Amino acid sequence: MADLHRVLVTGANGYVASWIIKQLLEQGVAVHATVRNKSNTAKYQHLLDIAGQTPGTLHMFEADLLELGSFEEAMSDCDVVMHTASPFKLQVDDPYKGLINPALQGTKNVLDTVNKTSSVRRVVLTSSVVAIFGDNQDIEKAGNRRFSEANWNTSSSADHQPYPYSKTLAERQAWQMVEAQGRWDLVVINPGFVMGPPLSEQSGSESIRTMQQLTDGTLKMGVPELHMGVVDIRNVAEAHIAAARKDEAKGRHILVNKVLTLLEMSNILREEFGSKYALPQRELPKFLFWLVGPTVGLSRKFVKRNVGYPSAFDNSKSIEQLGINYIPIAKTLTDHVRAMERETKEKMASA
């Protein structure tokens, strides 16, 4: 187990990064955190508040993925770099501008600076299961009909599933760059769909948007049969830290607890919250999504290759090598909604 001297976390205000930073600060680690705009303190006030109550120290820096060299100051004297910053949006006008360039050029930019910063011994990259597969239908080509770390997404492109494409290109870039040198190593975390209590309502992450849509009535008429590997945000943060601390950690790590459909998630929430939320109660037929999908941002190709296909993941490496003890999924989902409720209450109290 390595001591963590000073850790850089990119995209610090994000949903995932905020939990990583919280756990690092609780463990007394010195954290260098980058945000795009340091003067917009509202986006990271929650981190300053956590730093005020924990033994670790937090320094904020400004850096943009697309600005060459902008991570240099923040990375100075760090032994570990956790690169989480990357846009997580499922719908963008321009896939290159909105997703692919920041993911790919951003990873290259951060790792170019790692190459120049002699203190860095390890990079922990936040990739995704979508660098492992693109469409649920890809399960037909995966060994044992289960996705594992050996699989790569070969079905996404800029036109079809640009977010998975952006994550695949970025992770491949990182593996190429680590192989081209011998000083630092790379450990990759590939989370499924992350759910669990957000530390701030400022993030635009699809994780937060999905839970809002499940509970605010947007999906009450029904949902597609879409199977997703889900994982708790707190386990994802733990995995990043274990990946940084464990000398023997190597390669990619799938982080998925359970495969659930949107309806199964709603049913779990209904058990806890009864009729408090207008949760979806049924699945609508695939052909309906095929017909109307394009009007609600789901292409026919996406519907064809994803709706109705089961999914399965081999998460054994995360348990055996990173020591992850998966939080029960009902707790993940209910804690997420309770955190949203607390946030609303606090907003109303301060209005």
Q: Is 167 an active-site residue?
A: yes
Q: How far is the CB of 99 from ligand NAP (least distance, A)?
A: 9
Is the CB of 128 or the CB of 315 nearer to ligand NAP? Answer: 128
Interface residue with ligand NAP, options 2, 66, 292, 319 (CB under 6 A): 66
CA 327, 330, 333: angle at the middle one, nearest 5?
95
Binding mask 6-35 for ligand NAP (x = CB under 6 A): -----x-xxxx-------------------
C-alpha distances in angstroms, 134 versus 161, 257, 283, 300? 7, 19, 22, 15
Q: Nearer to ligand NAP by C-beta: 13 or 168?
A: 13
Nearest to 327 by CA among 197, 149, 161: 197
| Minimum CB distance to ligand NAP smaller for 199 or for 219 | 199
Do the beta carbons of residue 28 and residue 45 sit within 8 Å? Answer: no
| Token pair in block for residue 217 | 């009535």
188 scored as a contact of ligand NAP (CB under 6 A): no
Whole-angstrom distance, CA of residue 251 vs CA of residue 229: 20
User: Using CB under 6 A, which of 165, 193, 289, 302 touches ligand NAP?
Assistant: 193
Among the options 167, 246, 301, 347, which is catalytic?
A: 167
Site string for ligand NAP, 300-329 (x = CB under 6 A): ------------------------------
- What is d(CA 50, CA 34) in angstroms, rounded to the nearest whole number? 16
Of 145, 185, 149, 179, the C-alpha closest to 321 is 149
Binding region for ligand NAP (CB under 6 A): 11, 13-16, 36, 64-66, 84-88, 102, 126, 128, 167, 191, 193-194, 203-205, 207
